[in-house]
Amino acid sequence: MRAKDFILKAHKNSIEKGSFTWSSPSNIALVKYWGKKENQIPANPSISFTLNNCKTTTTLSFSKKENSNEFSFEIFLDDEKKDDFKPKIETFFKRIEAYLPFLKDYHFKIETSNTFPHSSGIASSASGMSAMALCLMSIEKALKPEITDEYFTQKASFLARLGSGSACRSLEGDMVVWGKHNEIEASSDLFGVKYPFKVHRNFKNYNDTILLVDKGEKQVSSTIGHNLMHNHPFAIERFKQAQNNLSILIDTFKTGDLKTFIEIVESEALTLHAMMMTSMPYFILMKPNTLEIINKIWMFRKATNSNICFTLDAGANVHVLYPENETETVLEFIKNELVAYCQNGHYICDQIGFGAKLINQTV
Ligand code: DP6
């Protein structure tokens, strides 16, 4: 597929109004996307677990309008009008207009809500942008019913990527790869694909407990963060390493080797932060409690031979990953030893999930 294959051309149907509701989850990267080229093309491939409980539900209502000169939309978060979200949606619409020429023909009402608190430091861009992209693709499907399910999902992921890169990994489960990798034939820089190979039962229902260390606004926006990889002294090596780490994980998912999984996942998290610490300008996004938690996890692993590990996003919160058969012991450990480092004791229990769902439609 090339980008131009996603341009909606002639369609027979015309629709006056309707609405679609999709729910779409967040995802947690194991090999991280950090650095991009023009048009949201990633500098390296990434792979993620799709989450189950952390998700956004979006209803997109649309009605035909008189003139088609400009975008027209309003946006509500938890029933409250959110004009400060408008510039983000405007930018998104501009980026995807060429692929969805009907965008200026309608007025849109976007009503969205998240299962996780807005000010939790958990990015809602992956779940939010993927839910939006799916609603828009439902309109395309209503206009052109003959598009295939495969095309629907690929184009929804393609559009979500133009909203926020990591969003293209949120549509399907339970693992998604985004970015060209030579061992994964169907992989693409343009959209996420379901992980195509065998996955050992050790990874079934894998847990992700998210420890909310710092619920504040992001210190560094992802756009600024990705840009720091331009002319970064370690960029070329980092992009090669990500390719290689994905190769190692492919093998690990086959054999079920949790020790190697832990090594790669923790190294990826720390490398992501190392890239931020060694860019110009430089940032430290971990907080003292992030390091306390990491050390406690390492001590617990050593003492009990557990397969617990951590990963990080571009912030201070810690994702604690562990296999299903350790749920009880690790949760006990989290409650006894880690919750003290969370802001107001807050954490979210999640696990691998299976992607987005159409909740409602009226056309
Ligand atoms: C650290 O997808 O938020 O979470 O494409 O600029 O919207 P934009 O960036 P975004 O970057 C996420 C980076 C990350 C790692 C990852 O999810 O792979």
Q: What is the pLDDT of residue 215?
A: 81
Question: Model pTM?
Answer: 0.97
Q: Does any ligand 1 atom lie closer than 6 A to the CB of residue 203?
A: no
Q: Is the CB of 215 under 6 A from ligand 1?
A: no
* Separation of CA 172 from chain center: 11
Other C-beta atoms closer than 10 Å to the C-beta of 254 total: 12
- Whether the per-residue pLDDT at 70 is higher than 80: the answer is yes
DSSP class of residue 138 equals H
Model confidence band, residue 122 (pLDDT cutoffs 50, 70, 90): confident
Q: Which residue has the tokens 């400009």?
A: 70
Q: How remote is the CA of residue 90 from the centroid of ligand 1, in Å?
A: 19
User: pLDDT band at residue 110, thresholds of 50, 70 and 90?
Assistant: very high
Say how far apart CA 309 and CA 319 lie, in whole Å: 8
pLDDT at site 119: 66
Cα separation, 59 vs 131, in Å, equals: 9
Distance 52 CA to ligand 1 centre (A): 19
Q: Which CATH architecture has domain 3-196+353-362?
A: 2-Layer Sandwich (3.30)
pLDDT bin (cut points 50, 70, 90) of residue 30 is very high
Q: Is 178 in the pocket of ligand 1 (CB under 6 A)?
A: no
CA of 33 to the centre of ligand 1 (A): 6
235-255 vs 258-277: helix axis angle to the nearest 10? 160
- Answer yes or no: is pLDDT of 237 > 80: yes
Find the mean pLDDT for residues 341-348. Answer: 96
Residue ranges of domains in the chain: 3-196+353-362, 205-351
Q: Is 320 in the pocket of ligand 1 (CB under 6 A)?
A: no
What's the CA gap between 128 and 261, in Å, rounded? Answer: 29
Digit-coded pLDDT (tens) for 289-311: 999 999 999 999 999 999 999 99
Does residue 216 register a pLDDT over 80?
Answer: no
Tell me, in angstroms, the distance from the centre of ligand 1 to residue 35's CA.
9
Cα(26) to centroid(ligand 1), Å = 11
Residues 6+ positions from 356 with CB-CB distance below 8 Å? 22, 23, 24, 25, 130, 131, 134, 170, 171, 172
> What's the CA-to-centroid distance between 325 and ligand 1, angstroms?
30
Percent of the chain with pLDDT over 90: 92
Topology of domain 205-351 in CATH is: Alpha-Beta Plaits (3.30.70)
Per residue in 247-258, pLDDT (tens digit) is 999 999 999 999
CB of 29 within 6 A of ligand 1: the answer is: yes
Q: Atom 5 (ligand 1): residue with closest C-alpha?
A: 165
Ligand 1, residue 125: give the atom nearest the CA. 3
Give residue-wise pLDDT tens across range 161-180. 999 999 999 999 999 999 99
Give burial (CB, 10 Å; 0-12/13-18/19+) of 103. Answer: buried
Judged against a pLDDT cut of 90, whether residue 223 lies above it is answered with: no
C-alpha closest to that of 105 among 51, 137, 66, 74: 66
The whole-number pLDDT of residue 35 equals 98
